[in-house]
Amino acid sequence: MRITVIGTGYVGLVTGICLADNGNDVIGYDIDSRKIESLQAGKLPIYEPGLSDLLQANVEAKRIHFTPDPKQAVEHGQVIFLAVGTPPKPDGSADLSAVEAVVNEISRFVTEPKILAIKSTVPIGTGDHLQAMLDKSGRPVTVVSNPEFLKEGSALDDFLRPDRVIIGAEARQAGEIVRGLYLPFVRNQKPILLMSRRAAEMTKYAANAFLAMRISFINEIAGMCEKLNVDIDEVRLGIGSDTRIGHHFLYPGPGYGGSCLPKDVQALAYLARCQGAQPELIETVHRVNERQKNVLFQKIVERFGPGLAGKKIAVWGVTFKARTDDIRESAALRLIDHLLTAQAQVVAHDPEGLENLARQYGQRLRYEADTYAALQAADALVIVTEWNRFRSPDFGRMRALMRSPIIFDGRNLYDQAQMQAEGFEYHSIGRPSIRPAT
Ligand code: NAD
């Protein structure tokens, strides 16, 4: 089938490349011409494991093309996937200006019947609104909601083997056409759920709010564990082993970030308030997370005092999670802001996120590509992201490099007894702090 993908970010690229790999004839369009130039040269503008090779294979096989021309893009696809950003506005609501701009482009260029599948996360009722815009322009376009559930870092696997596919359609035939595109990905009998457009939009928000709730829940319990001298990891295993609860999204940490959970939780709460509902639980999930994002800095202040002038703090991991270069809403940004305000000297290290970080912070901190060089003469190390390379480091080498062997671990990567034996002072989340053995 001829497919168009509008918005070649994390979601649009994964969607387009996976559909091309299945034999569809795909064209990708983005308003950012530098992205398109890079993609036309076969170069991926983001980091996502496995995606670069799959892009190259499909470019070579001429199953995917990229264009800076919206007319060419709109005319190409029988199905047009819309995957532009829906960032938060200051009041928490979703900014739909990019989505509406795309729909305006579509109504300029469409001449024959097409399906517009909305992959962007949009407030409940947006599909109805976009359908009304298109109907008013007289263009034969049917709007279908097709929210995306991939996770950055394992996006290919998530798209190729989804737990479920959600398709929200008012017109049955349009829903069936989109369903047909996904059949090759659900040969393992995972469901494709056809529902109303509004239910599909709500499913996406409800799923993200639930995942965020689990994270805020375990972070709140972790805070209690610290006060009550209990090890959160024992509790996490204890509750996660209950099959009604399970282990997913129950890891204490520095607060959730990324381009989805923070904005989607706020957008759902905003939408609910506008309709006169009382989203108390959802608002609390957000508040707990906002507080959690300060936890690592609070621990540093408890240890060193409020002024950090003359202190050199190394930060390992700046992306919001491992296996991505995405730093949007990362807890590391909040930490770095606090550290800079307290006049600490900050050295940041991350396997993939430093370019994006430097774009935001410029000369205000140091960027170190080497994991160990970042520790040179550091007064403390703070671990914010759970990259594999941080899990079993050479502790002897770390101790030798650091001015003082103090670690603040936002991901509970290390065994406390081992840290004590290795001679570290070790602070983690929801577990008692450890002083070196004397
Ligand atoms: P992104 O910021 O990586 O990519 C969005 C792209 O859209 C950018 O390349 C931007 O240049 C382009 N764009 C903006 N306005 C445009 C316009 N008028 N015409 C053409 N292109 C335009 O965003 P993303 O992370 O891929 O997210 C896209 C949507 O999918 C969001 O609504 C997000 O909430 C949702 N989503 C994201 C993820 C994720 O893990 N990133 C997962 C599920 C759903």
Cβ of 260 less than 6 Å from ligand 1: yes
Kindly report the backbone phi and psi dihedral angles of residue 193, in degrees, each rounded to the nearest multiple of 5, phi listed first: -100, 115
Q: Judge contact between 45 and 35, C-beta under 8 A.
A: yes
Catalytic annotation on 18?
no
- pLDDT tens for 282-322 read 999 999 999 999 999 999 999 999 999 999 999 999 999 99
In angstroms, rounded to a whole number, what is the distance separating the alpha carbons of residues 175 and 158? 21
What pLDDT does residue 221 have? 98
Q: Are residues 40 and 138 in the same domain?
A: yes
In angstroms, rounded to a whole number, what is the distance separating the alpha carbons of residues 58 and 64? 6
pLDDT above 90 covers a percentage of the chain that reads 98
Q: Are residues 300 and 244 in the same domain?
A: no
Q: Are residues 170 and 146 in the same domain?
A: yes
What pLDDT does residue 13 have? 98
Model confidence at 436, in pLDDT bands (50, 70, 90)? confident
Residue 433 counted as domain residue: no
Q: Are residues 113 and 235 in the same domain?
A: no
Residue 105 counted as domain residue: yes
Q: Are residues 37 and 106 in the same domain?
A: yes
Residue 46 counted as domain residue: yes
Residue 132 counted as domain residue: yes
Q: Are residues 163 and 71 in the same domain?
A: yes
Q: Which two tokens stand for residue 391?
A: 């899990």
Domain stop point among 169, 194, 219: 194
What pLDDT does residue 288 have? 98
Specify the DSSP element, H or E, that contains 137.
Answer: helix 126-137
Which strands make up the sheet holding 2-6, listed edge to edge?
A: 64-67, 25-29, 2-6, 79-82, 114-118, 141-145, 165-168, 192-195
Helices 126-137 and 197-228: crossing angle, nearest 10°?
Answer: 150
Expressed as residue numbers, the domain containing 283 is 205-291
Q: Judge contact between 345 and 378, C-beta under 8 A.
A: no
Q: Which of 8, 11, 97, 165 to mutate to test the pocket of ligand 1 (most atoms within 8 A of CB)?
A: 11
Q: Judge contact between 286 and 275, C-beta under 8 A.
A: no
Cβ of 324 less than 6 Å from ligand 1: no
Q: Are residues 21 and 164 in the same domain?
A: yes
16 alpha carbon – ligand 1 mean position (Å):
13
Cβ of 1 less than 6 Å from ligand 1: no
Taking the CA of residue 260 as reference, the ligand 1 atom at the shortest distance is 34
Domain stop point among 194, 228, 250: 194
**Model's pTM, two decimal places?**
0.96
What pLDDT does residue 230 have? 97
pLDDT above 70 covers a percentage of the chain that reads 100
Domain count, the chain: 3
181 alpha carbon – ligand 1 mean position (Å):
21
Give the HSE-up count for residue 343: Cα atoms under 13 Å, Cβ half-sphere: 6
CA-based radius of gyration for the chain: 23
What pLDDT does residue 159 have? 97
Q: Are residues 155 and 12 in the same domain?
A: yes
Cβ of 317 less than 6 Å from ligand 1: no
Model confidence at 437, in pLDDT bands (50, 70, 90)? confident
Residue 438 counted as domain residue: no
- pLDDT tens for 116-138 read 999 999 999 999 999 999 999 99
Model confidence at 398, in pLDDT bands (50, 70, 90)? very high
Domain stop point among 194, 216, 242: 194
Helix (H, G, I), strand (E, B) or coil at 9: coil
CATH number at residue 329: 3.40.50.720
Residue 104 counted as domain residue: yes
Q: Judge contact between 175 and 169, C-beta under 8 A.
A: yes
Residue 432 counted as domain residue: no
Where do the DSSP E strands lie in 50-89? 64-67, 79-82
Q: Which two tokens stand for residue 252?
A: 């204490």
CATH number at residue 271: 1.10.1040.10
